[in-house]
Amino acid sequence: MAHETLTEPVPGVTWTSGSYVMPRAELEQLDAKQTRAINGDRGGAWAPSAPIEIGGFGVRVTGPVDVAGGGVLDVTSAGGIVLGDGDFQDLAEGHAGRTRQLRQDTSFPLGVGDFGGYPWAATVSPRHLAAQTVALSFVDSFGNERGSEFLIQLRVHHGATLDRLVFRFRVPYLRKSTPTTMPKLRVFRADRDGNVDVLKSTTLGDGYAGPENPGTSVAWHAGGAIQEFDYVCDQHNVIDTSQFIYWAHVVEETGATEFPEKMLVQNGVGFGSLAGLQATAAAESPPFDVDPVSLNGAIFQINPGADETSYKIYQAVIPSPYTGPGSIIFREAEPAGNVWGPFVAHFSGIETTGWQ
The residues pairing with 317 across neighbouring beta strands, listed in sequence order, are 329
Digitized pLDDT (tens) for each residue of the chain, 356 residues in all: 467 888 877 887 888 877 888 888 888 888 888 888 888 788 888 888 888 888 888 888 888 887 777 777 777 777 677 777 777 777 777 877 788 899 998 988 887 765 444 545 667 766 667 888 877 877 766 677 778 889 999 999 999 999 999 999 999 888 888 888 999 999 999 999 999 999 999 999 999 999 999 999 999 999 999 999 999 999 999 999 999 999 999 999 887 666 666 666 654 344 555 555 555 555 544 444 556 676 777 777 665 555 555 566 777 787 788 777 667 777 777 777 889 989 999 999 887 755 55
Q: DSSP class of residue 97?
A: G
Residues 323, 304 within the same domain? yes
Residues 250, 110 within the same domain? yes
Residues 192, 292 within the same domain? no
191 in a domain, yes or no? yes
Residues 236, 319 within the same domain? no
Residues 271, 190 within the same domain? no
Residues 297, 325 within the same domain? yes
Residues 245, 305 within the same domain? no
Nearest C-alpha neighbor of 337 from the set 265, 248, 254, 271: 254
165 in a domain, yes or no? yes
Number of domain units in the chain: 2
58 in a domain, yes or no? no
Backbone φ/ψ region at 71: left (φ over 0), alpha (ψ -120 to 50), beta: left
Buried b (16+ CB within 10 A) or exposed e, 114-149: ebbebbbbbbbbeebebbbbbbbbbbbbeeebbbbb
Q: What's the chain's Rg over C-alpha atoms?
A: 36
Structural domain that includes position 220: 100-258+341-348
How far is residue 122 from each of residues 1, 147, 187, 327, measured CA to CA in Å? Answer: 71, 11, 18, 30
Residues 268, 150 within the same domain? no
82 in a domain, yes or no? no
pLDDT tens-place string over residues 184-227: 999 999 999 999 999 999 999 999 999 999 999 999 999 999 99
